[in-house]
Amino acid sequence: MYTLTNIDQHHFSGPEDVYVLEAHRTAAGLATVASDQTLSLFNPARLGAGPVTSLKTGHGNVTTLRVFDAASSLVCTAGENGSVGVWDLRQGARVAQFQAAEASILSMACSANTQTIAVGTELENHVASIHLWDVRSSPSPKATYSEVHSDDVTSLGFHPSSPTLLISGSTDGLVSVHDTTIADEDELTVQTFNHNASIHDAAFLTPTEVFALSHDETFALYDVAEERTDGNATQDFGDLRKVLGCQYVANVTTKLDGSGAILGAGAQDKQNFELVFLAKTPSNAWALDHDNRVVLPGAHGGEIVRSFCFFDDEQVVFTTGEDGNVKAWRAGN
């Protein structure tokens, strides 16, 4: 077990309580979105100095932030009015805004390789859709899928090395992998897995394996390889609240090299947040490494931690929470 120390923080204040929803790393610094409808950029070494840039997003309520190109510091935001904003954080300016959907956007994925933004919508008029947009010049629609899910599309992600593959998760309990080069929606889906619980997060873990995390914290792994066609979980970890002794899982961050993932698990009553590594064992099975978990004591008090991200070079972890804070954590000397 390793313990980190809170070394810096910034508090968002306003007439109403502010939730800091997400944080992501870019070359320009740490990007966050908050419930006061702001997109903010921080110098990660001077968090307490406040945002270097603070921009109003204009989505009604902002729901998601995704990095389009970390090296170029291009990020995307989306929200309840169905619009998407593309922002250049080096310039501190919005470079594009377009109406990507008629319904509220709940999820988004970006691929700089294919210049594509995918958005997933809330169920409205009995339809929950996935829209793909080309942002090469003026954004233009590439495809719309309206029959993949029967309820809110809560999670989207592109394959890390084959960006024409898209994974989606929904409150209908399904996680599906789609080949977006196929025009016919009936033929689009490569594989569907029934997690039997509303999906909070889903993504590619390796080139052929995916994870699914439900809103009631059940966690399982699935294999997209062609020889596995039954759609059953290859490993079912069950309810992580029991497995990890937590009350919720904020999100799961996969490692870019396919070597595993990091789960952020919190407990409000203990004012605690932990990072737990999912890695391969010598027997080639995946396992949660309880012994080497990283503990953030005090976390965000009795409030929920909404997200975490890493600045590996500086060995700093950043967290955001419903207490209005973004915090920096580092191992003690």
Tell me the per-residue pLDDT of 254-297, one tens digit each, with 9 for 90 and over. Answer: 988 888 999 999 999 999 999 999 999 999 899 999 999 999 99
Q: How far apart are the C-alpha atoms of 162 and 165, rounded to whole Å?
A: 6
Query: What is the strand order of the sheet 272-280 is part of?
Result: 248-254, 261-267, 272-280, 286-297, 2-11, 325-331, 316-321, 305-311
Distances (CA, A) of 27 to 24, 44, 86: 10, 11, 16
| pLDDT at site 257 | 83
Topology of domain 2-331 in CATH is Methylamine Dehydrogenase; Chain H (2.130.10)
Q: What is the pTM of this model?
A: 0.95
Q: Which H/E stretch holds residue 186? A: helix 185-188
Mean pLDDT of all residues in 7-29 = 96
**Residues 6+ positions from 24 with CB-CB distance below 8 Å:** 30, 31, 32, 65, 66, 67, 70, 75, 309
Q: Specify the pLDDT at position 226.
A: 62
Which candidate, 63, 17, 16, places its Cα nearest to that of 39? 63
Q: Do β-strands 272-280 and 286-297 pair in parallel, antiparallel, or remain unpaired? A: antiparallel
- What gap in Å lies between CA 193 and CA 77, rounded to an integer? 28
User: Would you say 278 and 220 are in contact if contact means Cβ atoms under 8 Å apart?
Assistant: no
Taking residues 309-331, report their average pLDDT: 94
C-alpha span between 91 and 73 (Å, rounded): 9
- What mean pLDDT is predicted for residues 308-331? 95
Q: How far apart are CA 203 and CA 45, in angstroms?
A: 30
| Residues present in the chain in total | 333
Q: Are 150 and 172 in contact (CB under 8 A)?
A: yes
| pLDDT score of 227 | 59
CA gap 298, 35 in Å, rounded? 22
d(CA 267, CA 247): 5
Q: What residues have CB less than 8 Å from 38, skipping those under 6 apart?
A: 12, 51, 54, 55, 56, 57
Q: Which pLDDT does position 230 carry in this prediction?
A: 67
Tell me the pLDDT of the chain averaged across its residues.
95
| pLDDT at 258 (0 to 100) | 82
